[in-house]
Structure 1
Amino acid sequence: MEFKIKKDDFLNSFKKNNRIITKNPIFPILENIIIKVNQNTLQLTSSNLEIEINTYIDKKYFLFYKEGCITISGKKILNICRNISKNKELHFQLINKKMHIKISSSLFTLNVISHINFPIFQNITHLRKFFIPQKILKNMIELTHFSIARNDIRASLNGILLEYKDNCLYGVTTDGHRLSMYKISLNLNTSIFSIIINRKSILELSRILFSDLDLIQVKISNHNISFKINEILLITKLINSDFPNYSDIVLKKYQYCISISKNKLKESLLKTSILCNTTFKGVCLNFSKNLLKITSSNQENEKSYDSFSIYYIYENISFSINVFYLLDVINAINNNKIIISFNNPISSIQIQSNLQTEITYIIMPLKL
């Protein structure tokens, strides 16, 4: 194996692979990256058993001498690249089972491991294939990811439900206390499907995606899903579990519907959250005629209070809610107005934006 490549051309792809690498004493080969080169393509592959990332560098960006395929330490390669100046040329050459990397007057000699035992997803047969604009997928993730549970015993809550039915694409996340639902009308020219993608993969995918309308290719098999984004291929395992029936939670009819300034509400919540209970993280929203009063108290019996004017014509009503769940929603919504809806008795609080009609948030009230 032998090739030459400019530092920036190599590092731009390499960093995408390196993000998913973690220290792994059980499978030390997973700390490595596969480097495979032929006269047309330089391919870099990394994996953490859940996610596999392949990046492809076209022949116009490197000088090819001899083909080959090995694995090499991702951390060491990254440290080498970080400590050389911009636009330097890296000369990779495999000699006597050692990788020699020549950079100007510097020479690095690294151990390599055969790629044969590197765990990669093999010969995936896809059942469905479709194309989707990057922007839609990226928006879906950014507007819903914070409701994904972390290491919940219920496996289905540890990812995002991606569901296609009735020419609509849904992205739904929940941790059992709140729910985020993204819905958009879209003809994907494929049959209906309902899959759950794990949280780590979704966040990594979001980092790779751009906010443009370029199409990406999505392939779904029984146990995996792949996303082809320009020169990057991300493959990940699906979560094999049943997602909760989210449609029953969404309010179709409601008794109360209140429009509130997002900025005023956020400012008030940030103030009152200072003295909220550190265990329950609750604040109380008290609605009375044209006034919203927000209160909180903590374990030391310290209290906070804030209020501001709103348009409200219903009877007096109040509920407690996790302040940080509510702030997550406020930060996700771009519009200056948010709409809070609920029924009495209050079993759930639904939050929407009159402009971002594709997204719906639901937060369960606290019973303090």
Structure 2
Amino acid sequence: MKLVCSKSNLLNGVQIVSRAVPNKTTMSILECILIDASNGIITLTANDMDMGIETVIEGDIVESGVIALDAKIFLEIVRKLPDSFITIDTDASYKTLITCEKAKFTIVGKSGEDFSYLPMVEKEESIVISQFSLKEMVRQTIFSISDNDNNKLMTGELFEINGDELKIVSSDGHRISIRKIALREIYEHRKVIVPGKTLNEVSKILPGGADSDLTVYFTDKHIVFEFDNTVVVSRLIEGEYFSIDRMLSGDYETKVRVNKKELLNCIDRATLLTREGDRKPIVINISDEGMELKIDSALGSMKEEIDIEKQGRDLMIGFNPKFLIDALRVIDDEEVDLYMVNPKAPCFIKNEEESYIYLILPVSLVANYGR
């Protein structure tokens, strides 16, 4: 095999597929990127058996063929070559010569015969969504998935299609994040659980243009993301996602409207007095005079007041400050509405259209402060 392509095209392609190369594996072939120039196009592929990425790059094929190259070494070589045209030339023993201007690297590749290509997935059920919309929905929900594999369902996000609406839900057991958007067409009802790792990687490689679309295909076991010259195939998480509807009550005793940036900055300042892993809550005292936020820790104490618009009862409630910060950071509105019932019930941060809903469980103040 012999091919020539620009460094920018090759580097972009290698960086995209490298996200599907496993960090640890007993199968050395999976540590490789497959370069396939056998069908008149140059295709790069990586696959960790749970998620696979394939992308097509532009270049000239002098001699067709297939080679598997160690992903880490290949990426570093391409990254550090001059900004010029790169030639990749392999022989029958898979010895690979990579040249660019005066630089020459020789590395040993592997046969592509043992490489696991992406699974063939039936492309019958699909939706079309803007790249920007999907990227934003993932950004605004991915932070509340669980990193604990003991509950596999919570390491993924629920994708639910209802007519012309797409809803994405994530939860780690202490909070729930929900985003909804309107789709351009009406689709059949569908619910799947997509691994958080897959969504993280798709979000990173999606260009995210508002005028660019991607197509998402669903089967019982796989999800496929197709955009530009790239295809991402991932296994789905099997199981039934927990029901959230019964938790989304519209009842509240206290409603607060507050400037989002002011609230976020205040909570952020309070966390200066907490150490990593510290479980001290931020205490929020809501009254007609305003909202008082305070925190006491081994490092000191902090108290600050914020102006609010309040409806309903006075309330004192505590939260993990990180959970509030995570939600507020991804909300684009200038002002946010907080809905609460009592010190032991969840707080809802949502807009009137409910295009976003963040549910955060409170922390017991009695356990932390002995009240």
Task: Indicate if the aligned counterparts of 2:259 and 2:335 stay in contact, CA closer than 8 A.
Answer: yes
Pairwise CA distance, 1:10: 1.1
Partner of residue 53, structure 1: 53
The root-mean-square deviation of aligned C-alpha atoms, in Å, is 2.0
Partner of residue 182, structure 1: 179
Which of 108, 121, 137 is residue 111 of structure 1 equivalent to?
108
Which of 230, 233, 238 is residue 236 of structure 2 equivalent to?
238
Decide whether aligned partners of structure 1 residues 95 and 108 sit closer, same or farther in structure 2, where only a CA change above 3 A counts. Answer: farther
Matched, 1:79 2:76: yes
Query: What amino acid does structure 2 have at the position aligned with 1:38?
Result: S
Query: What amino acid does structure 1 have at the position aligned with 2:156?
Result: G
Pairwise CA distance, 1:244: 1.1
Distance 1:53 1:328 in 2: 29
TM-score (norm 1): 0.92
The runs of at least 4 consecutive aligned structure 1 residues that moved more than 4 Å come to none
Pairwise CA distance, 1:86: 0.7
Distance 1:159 1:140 in 2: 14
Q: Secondary structure at the match of 1:191?
A: strand
Q: Secondary structure at the match of 1:70?
A: strand
Matched, 1:205 2:202: yes
Distance 2:92 2:98 in 1: 10
Partner of residue 297, structure 1: 296
Q: Secondary structure at the match of 2:248?
A: coil
Decide whether aligned partners of structure 1 residues 276 and 112 sit closer, same or farther in structure 2, where only a CA change above 3 A counts. Answer: closer
Partner of residue 138, structure 2: 141
For these two proteins, the number of residue pairs brought into alignment is 363
Task: Indicate if the aligned counterparts of 2:315 and 2:343 stay in contact, CA closer than 8 A.
Answer: no
TM-score (norm 2): 0.92
Task: Indicate if the aligned counterparts of 1:143 and 1:182 stay in contact, CA closer than 8 A.
Answer: yes
Distance 1:135 1:111 in 2: 40
Partner of residue 359, structure 1: 356
Query: What amino acid does structure 1 have at the position aligned with 2:347?
Result: I
Matched, 1:44 2:44: yes
Task: Indicate if the aligned counterparts of 1:130 and 1:189 stay in contact, CA closer than 8 A.
Answer: no
Unaligned runs of 5+ in 1: none
Distance 2:185 2:174 in 1: 31
Query: What amino acid does structure 2 have at the position aligned with 1:334?
Result: D
Which of 219, 222, 233 is residue 221 of structure 1 equivalent to?
219
Decide whether aligned partners of structure 1 residues 228 and 25 sit closer, same or farther in structure 2, where only a CA change above 3 A counts. Answer: closer
Decide whether aligned partners of structure 1 residues 289 and 101 sit closer, same or farther in structure 2, where only a CA change above 3 A counts. Answer: same
Partner of residue 339, structure 1: 337
Partner deviation per Cα, 1:16-51 (whole Å, 9 max, x = no partner): 112332443511111100000036310000012221
Unaligned runs of 5+ in 2: none
Pairwise CA distance, 1:126: 4.0
Task: Indicate if the aligned counterparts of 1:333 and 1:353 stay in contact, CA closer than 8 A.
Answer: no
Pairwise CA distance, 1:131: 1.8
Partner of residue 164, structure 2: 167
Of 317-326 and 214-223, the range deviating more from structure 2: 214-223
Query: What amino acid does structure 2 have at the position aligned with 1:344?
Result: N
Partner of residue 123, structure 1: 120
Identity fraction in percent: 22
Q: Secondary structure at the match of 2:309?
A: coil
Decide whether aligned partners of structure 1 residues 270 and 290 sit closer, same or farther in structure 2, where only a CA change above 3 A counts. Answer: same
